[in-house]
Structure 1
Amino acid sequence: MKTPLPLEKSNLSSRTYEQIRNALMNGEYSPGDRIRIANMAESLGISITPVREAIFRLVSEQALEMTAATSIKVPELDSATVAEIQLMRRLLEGAAGERAALVVTKPQIEALSATHDSFIAAVSVSPADAARINRDFHFQLLSIAGMPSLFDVVAGLWVRMGPLLHVFHSHVPARAISNRHHPHYRVLSGLKKKDSAAVSTAIQEDIAWGERVLLEWMSQNNLRSA
């Protein structure tokens, strides 16, 4: 886990919240990791109060779990919860993909294509980078759609999945991801043709494939599979 950078002494609660939230999304924490408020405050160079406020906010969003008054940990998701989150992602990201195909510009397609190329290049080199760049691809597509409320909901789902996805990317064989049949290629093709149905279907297939592989891996490793 990376050591957080000290924060400036302004708007500390919100800034602390964003930093911890991004760390969860980036997979800098693993499922089951304990978070100690005092240690976090010391590493950030701030008082305990803004850290506590940020932690409680993340607990209310189910991004963190409070098991006692002072015991905070990263949730260990079971298979039923993973399936539910992935279903929500399919529906919402599918809708965003449909909208994105109608409004996308050529520079946006080129930028998204470059992100996908970086993702494929990272798969066999750095699982951490691959997980982060894959998320960047999905978030770029969401941004293109221009649906801020939907974006915020999906971001919350990614925060909850981030720790597990990082572990997953560290174990799934690179050959299962880095191939010409990856759904990202069909997303890009659909965007170029402004084919809303094709983009929506491709991004949903991408999420569904990831869910199948993730749940199988969880079952094989006895990770709270139901």
Structure 2
Amino acid sequence: MQPAVSVTAVAKRYGSVRALDGATWTAGSGQVTAVLGPNGAGKTTLVECCEGLRRPDSGEVRVLGTDPWHASAAHRARVGVMLQDGGLPGSARPVRLLDHLARMYAAPASVAELTERLGIGGFAGTSVRRLSGGQRQRVALAAALVGRPEVAFLDEPSAGLDPHARLDVWDLVRSVADAGAAVVLTTHSFEEAERLADRVVIVAAGRTVAEGTVAEVAAGETLERRYFDLTRRSAA
């Protein structure tokens, strides 16, 4: 079966800085794939290439069989994106924004259900610019999922959330994957990767240094210990 997301030998430079250096990995439908790596490892650039926001200098990216840089509007409607900075209009109010986004899709998810599952109702009347970081995270996640995407790219979806809200987010993300979508999330949380991910990709210095299930990547150690071993070795 063709993977939902395929990244092959992708390289990207910003001037003299090599952000990606031949990264290669895949993500399957019905699975959560967690991308881990230290700051500056290339995670955000990698995901932005998959989202069609940046064009690789070389290599190949395919999302649902299509090059995302040249993707049509119909293809983009099948992909949900949660950006690192949220990308939400500051003057909008959460539920009105989600209702507006839902009208852009033929078969959207229930805004009422998303609002309830993510606890958005408690601040539904507050403009986005006045929300806390964790509240904006929840609205951004709902915005990424309201179109029932076949592939969802989520940049640190539980960052800044309290423990209860984090569990709600994990439950929702898991349910999206269980319904058949490919979920790709970046994270700095080993707990999140261990509890949520079907597959883990570790990126260091712009390269994929490990890929597989948590057990395969950990190789008999804790994921955290194995991660630091692999990333230190890559930096050496």
Q: Scaled by the length of structure 1, what TM-score is found? A: 0.28
Which is richer in strand? Answer: 2
Q: Scaled by the length of structure 2, what TM-score is found? A: 0.27
Work out which of the two has the higher radius of gyration on C-alpha atoms and give 1 or 2: 1
